[in-house]
Every structure is written in C-alpha cells, then in structure tokens.
Structure 1
Amino acid sequence: MFLRTVTTAATLLAMGVTASLAQDPIEERQQIMKDNGQAMRVLVPMARGQADYDAEAALAAFVSIRDDAARFGELFPEGTETGGDTRAKPEIWTDREGFDAAVAAFVEDAEAAVAAAPADLDAFRPVFGAMAENCGDCHEVYQVPEN
C-alpha cells in the first residue's frame, strides 16, 4: 500500500512538473529524461539482481517510461537544436527519419513491457533488456555524453 501511494504521488508530481514545462520543449524533454532516469533506477537493480524483483514497482516504472516515450518525439521541433543546456546532437534534425524510427522502437518496447506486466524476474528481464537496449542506442547516436 505504501509503495502504491508513493508511486501515485510521484506520478502526479511528475505530471504537474511536466505540465508546467509545456511551453519549453527543451526543458520538457530534459524533465522527461530525468523521470526516465528515476524509473531506470527502479528497474536496473532488479535486472542486475541487486534488488528483489517487485512486479508492481516494475510495472509502475514501465508505465511512466511508456507515457513519457509516447510524447518524446514531438519535443524536438525545429529551432530547439541549441539553448537550454541541451545535449541533443544535431543528428536529431539532420537524420530526422532515423531519430523518429529510434523513438518509435523505444515506444514499441515500452508498450510491450507494460503489456507484458512481468510477474517474475524471468519474464521481466527480456522486456526490460529490449527497452533498455533501445534507450542506450538512442543516447549513443542522438545525445552528447555528459562531461
């Protein structure tokens, strides 16, 4: 019950933060990436066996990522290539077709993870792995690494 309350509160907070940033696509996509990072901090330790598998927490993290991923592609309009401390690479705009395909693959994997609603670690690892691989591939091609 406590975990469900915390998850609900975090989701509502993230929705409120994201809604307030809707006027600035750079800030909004940065917030989404932070939200996804928080979700991955729940999922990665389970995948690595560093935390007990919690089906409810995993599903909540997958839902959060899926909901954010569905909007992600629209947050890179022309004119947002620079500014706002963006780490977006120019390839997003010079290879828009490739970027859109990468986002679509990530959305598809996130949706598959939610639909799978893995009940145990053996069911979790493959859907998490596919989603995480797409996440990493996109970062490698379309995001400037942190210093």
Structure 2
Amino acid sequence: MRKLVIAISMLALAASAALADPILDRQALMKERGKIVGGISKVAKGEEPFDAAAVLTQLQALQANAEKIDVDALFPAGSDTGDTTAAPKIWEDMAGFKAANDKYVADVKAAVAAAPADVDALKAQVGAIGSDCGTCHQGYRVKKG
C-alpha cells in the first residue's frame, strides 16, 4: 500500500510539473533575481553598509537562482507568445541565448568563489554581472511600454 501511495504521489508530481507554465516560471525566477541583484547593488552603491558575510549570502542566493535557469525547460518552443517580454530573438538564436546565460552563471559563480572582501571588489563583480544582465535585456528582451 505504501508503495502505491508513493507511486501515485510521484505521478501527481510529474503531472503538475508537466503542466507548469514556463512563462510564469521564468518570470518568477527573474523577479527573484531582480530582488537579489537590487540588494547587492545597494551595497555596491554605498546605499547600505558593506557586510562581507551578508554580501556572500546574497551572492550565494544569486548563484542558486542562476542555477535554476534551465533554458530548454523555461524557453520551449511556443512560449514566445502570451504575457512575456522574452524577445523572438531567443528562439531565433537559441545558441547565443544559451551562451549569454552560461556566461552569467559563470560570472555569478566566480563572484561567490571570490567572496568580495570589500566594497571595491563587490563593485567589480556587480559590474561584470550587470553587464551580463544588460546583454540579455538588450538583445533578448522586449522593452516594456
């Protein structure tokens, strides 16, 4: 009986995952990413005090977020229509989009590995990460209104 309950639970979970909305999923991840980057940016700009442990925690959260981006799952064919700001260029240049995402993930991982010891080191890391964000926003995102 226990095995049957587990099997049914696994099937229900798989079915709910199959019904997930890639547009809503990627928007949720990007919204989370924006909040994390916003917090890190405030420290880099001097709007909040630098605390090495807190910054590292935020960078680790950013890395966890970055690693959740599965381009194939979140940007499948047909998810370019509806309530999305994903540009058609994503599907026209999937290799370039994946390369841009891979660079972003690598830069976030490097920032975590380097664990900035002061605000100047953080500024350099935020610059690299921000450049990656800008690349995607300029090339692979439709500008809002």
Shorter-normalised TM range:
0.7 to 0.9
* Partner residue in 2 for 1:132: 130
Matched, 1:116 2:114: yes
How high is the TM-score relative to the length of structure 2?
0.80
Q: Which has the higher contact order (CA 8 A, sep 6+)?
A: 2
CA distance in 1 between partners of 2:115 and 2:25 (Å):
27
- CA drift of 1:34 comes to 0.6
1:73-98 per-position Cα deviation (integer Å, ceiling 9, x unaligned): 23111121112x11000000001111
* Greater mean deviation of Cα atoms: 113-122 or 51-60: 51-60
- CA drift of 1:46 comes to 1.3
The amino acid that maps onto 2:111 is: A
CA distance in 2 between partners of 1:68 and 1:82 (Å):
24
The amino acid that maps onto 2:63 is: R
CA distance in 1 between partners of 2:58 and 2:23 (Å):
23
Structure 1: state its 5+ residue gaps.
1-18
The amino acid that maps onto 1:24 is: D
- Out of 24, 32, 37, which is 2:29 matched to? 32
Which runs of structure 2 are paired with 1:1-147 in the superposition (5 Å)? 23-72=20-69, 73-74=71-72, 75-83=74-82, 85-147=83-145
CA distance in 1 between partners of 2:130 and 2:88 (Å):
23
- CA drift of 1:115 comes to 0.8
CA distance in 2 between partners of 1:145 and 1:58 (Å):
30
CA distance in 1 between partners of 2:61 and 2:138 (Å):
22
Q: Aligned-pair RMSD on alpha carbons? A: 1.8
CA distance in 2 between partners of 1:79 and 1:68 (Å):
24
The amino acid that maps onto 2:126 is: F
Contact 1:42 1:57 in 2 (8 A): no
Give the ranges of 4+ consecutive aligned residues of structure 1 lying more than 4 Å apart after TM superposition.
none
- CA drift of 1:127 comes to 1.4
CA distance in 2 between partners of 1:55 and 1:143 (Å):
33
- CA drift of 1:56 comes to 2.4
* Number of equivalences: 127
Structure with bigger gyration radius: 2
How high is the TM-score relative to the length of structure 1?
0.79
